Amino acid sequence: MPLGEVQALGSGALKKVVQDDVRALHGAVADATPMLGASLAQPLAALAALAVVDWRLLLAVLALVPAVAIGFSLVTRDYAAQRRAYDEANEAVNEAVVEFVQGMPVVRTFDDGTTSFARFSDRVEDFTRATEVWQRQGKTAGVLTRAAMTPLPTLVIILAVGTWLVSAGSMSVIDLVLATMLGTMPIESVVPLMYLSNFITDSRAGAVRINEILAIEPLPEPEAPQQPADGSVVFEDVVFSYGPGAGSGEGEPAGRRALDGVGLHIPDGTVCALVGASGSGKSTVARLIPRFWDVASGAVRVGGVDVRDMAPDVLLRHVGLVFQDPVLLNDTVAENIRLARPDASDDDVRAAARAAQADEFIRTELSHGYDTRVGERGSLLSGGQRQRITIARALLADSPLIVLDEATAFADPENEAAIQRALAELTRGRTVVVIAHRLGTIVDADQIVVLDHGKVAESGTHTTLLDAGGRYAALWRQHTKADGWGLGGRRPAAPATTDSSEVPA
């Protein structure tokens, strides 16, 4: 699937499909056939035997069938709508659980029982209400149906009719005793059939949701894949919009053109900075390079080749991604670095860590060095440590094209200096596309591209853009004004020729 579609689906929906719906479907495949066979064979055999004993008792027992059928239809009316509401509420709970657990430090710090926790609590209450409405709707009919399907009503009917037949001399006592033993078996077998029906309905609902995922169009793969020649990037009149339910994470709503006729040319071995307000399309440009989505029109070329003409694994090995929020697996430090190249030796892993300014803290601060487990999403490490490990991973991949999403945006000064040195090593001799929020870090970039509402407003070097007095000059004035702010008054503004700390020239 397109990586962008996976992100848009969300963790709650994917967790329910992968875990709950697949399990329901598996249960139906594994258990439905033998359960159905047993539930049908026993009542049919019992009814045939009862017909041999006395056909009139068979008719008496069958008189209960319409009552059970009517009750069952009342219990299951509007089932599809109720099931859909139940599934949606269940999915919302799954999302809230993931969000609540991942945000636990914030929840523990600020929650007073009515704020942060309320989001999770409301989802649980919505799920409870959906369940109650579903159960309440068929409660009375369900109770009467279950009562009719117990052995007692059938036994009463058989005894009443059988006693009358015995007293009339048209049936023996032995036949009546045999009829009472056989007569309750058909109705007892209907109960498992009801559970089986619910079982199959659950699995059918799961299958529908699984098919919704499978119906998402995969990224088409080329019949004759091509190899990129270098790290250059070209956008040719690119138009792109996010589909329903999708979003870039930087403010572009679904449906509106996130990019509208964007043209870019980033030569091999140069640094290109993308700047602009939130929602201008910076992250969209960065995510189209590794083909998170396919463009609506135009083309994205990497190394002279349209990304749609490259095998996905080749493209993703060619592009190194370092984002603001570093993601680590709950594994050892070494395995998190080796994720970029599973066949890398220990020496290669350590060399990448040294280049990323991570080797020292790994050896001296972590209890088991490179064999230390980092916890879920790297929770046992500091933010700066996590970022340096992800940079080591990118170094090990040795990709000729690097995409940076302001990798030092949230680092403390000490970690920022270490990360900057690591980025200097990572970007040396490579093509770099950097999403820049702090303009002082990209003044020495070879090219600065200003995006505004999905269009390229202007491009050039820092000096030429300042001289032009356009959108970039306005952003620079805002940057220097914000940079001069401090608690208790203004600090001296940074000079306009600040060296690039994020991406060295």
Q: Quote the pLDDT of residue 500.
A: 39
Q: What is the 3-state secondary structure (H, E, C) of 329-345?
A: CCCEHHHHHHCCCCCCC
Banded model confidence at residue 236, pLDDT cuts 50, 70, 90? very high
Residue with tokens 């070097």: 461
Which residues, 6 or more positions from 302, have their beta carbon under 8 angstroms from its beta carbon? 228, 231, 232, 233, 289, 310, 315, 318, 319, 401
- Reply yes or no on whether the pLDDT at 269 is more than 60: yes
pLDDT in tens, 471-495: 988 888 887 877 666 555 555 544 4
Burial of 360 (0-12, 13-18, 19+ CB in 10 A): exposed
Rounded (10°) CA dihedral 282, 326, 17, 296: 20
pLDDT in tens, 377-394: 788 888 888 888 888 888
In percent, the amount of the chain with pLDDT more than 90 equals 16
Banded model confidence at residue 263, pLDDT cuts 50, 70, 90? very high
Other CB atoms within 10 A of residue 51 CB: 15
Q: Quote the pLDDT of residue 194.
A: 65
Mean pLDDT over residues 274-293, rounded? Answer: 89
Burial of 497 (0-12, 13-18, 19+ CB in 10 A): exposed
Closest-CA residue to 424 (of 501, 351, 360): 501
Long-range Cβ contact pairs of 137-142 (< 8 A, separation 24 or more): 137/77, 137/78, 137/82, 138/74, 138/75, 138/76, 138/77, 141/71, 141/74, 141/75, 142/71, 142/75
Least confident among 109-123, 132-146, 240-254, 443-457: 240-254
- Between 94 and 320, residue with greater pLDDT: 320
Q: How far apart are CA 93 and CA 208, in angstroms?
A: 20
Closest-CA residue to 289 (of 311, 256, 318): 318
Q: How far apart are CA 362 and CA 289, in angstroms?
A: 32
Q: How far apart are CA 423 and CA 436, in angstroms?
A: 14
Which residues, 6 or more positions from 21, have their beta carbon under 8 angstroms from its beta carbon? 205, 206, 207, 209, 210
pLDDT in tens, 290-303: 998 899 999 999 99
Mean pLDDT over residues 332-341, rounded? Answer: 90
Of the CA atoms within 13 Å of residue 125, those in its CB half-sphere come to: 6
Three-state SS at 157: helix
Q: How far apart are CA 405 and CA 421, in angstroms?
A: 16
Longest alpha-carbon distance in the chain: 116
The mean pLDDT of the chain is 78
475, containing H or E segment: helix 471-483
Q: How far apart are CA 98 and CA 163, in angstroms?
A: 64
Which residues, 6 or more positions from 10, have their beta carbon under 8 angstroms from its beta carbon? 95
Mean pLDDT over residues 228-235, rounded? Answer: 93
- Cα-based distances in Å from 195 to 81, 147, 150, 191, 453: 19, 15, 14, 7, 55
Mean pLDDT over residues 399-421, rounded? Answer: 68
DSSP classification of residue 309: G
Q: Quote the pLDDT of residue 503.
A: 42
Domains and CATH numbers, the chain: 3-77+138-214 (no CATH), 233-490 (3.40.50.300)
Which residues, 6 or more positions from 482, have their beta carbon under 8 angstroms from its beta carbon? none
Mean pLDDT over residues 346-368, rounded? Answer: 89
Which residues, 6 or more positions from 483, have their beta carbon under 8 angstroms from its beta carbon? 440, 491, 493, 494
Q: How far apart are CA 282 and CA 286, in angstroms?
A: 6
Q: Quote the pLDDT of residue 288.
A: 92
- Between 55 and 268, residue with greater pLDDT: 268
Phi, psi (5° rounding) for residue 204? -65, -40
Sheet order of strands, 257-266 included:
257-266, 233-241, 297-302, 305-306
Provide DSSP, 65-133. HHHHHHHHHHHTTTHHHHHHHHHHHHHHHHHHHHHHHHTHHHHHHH--SSSHHHHHHHHHHHHHHHHHH
Q: How far apart are CA 238 and CA 389, in angstroms?
A: 34
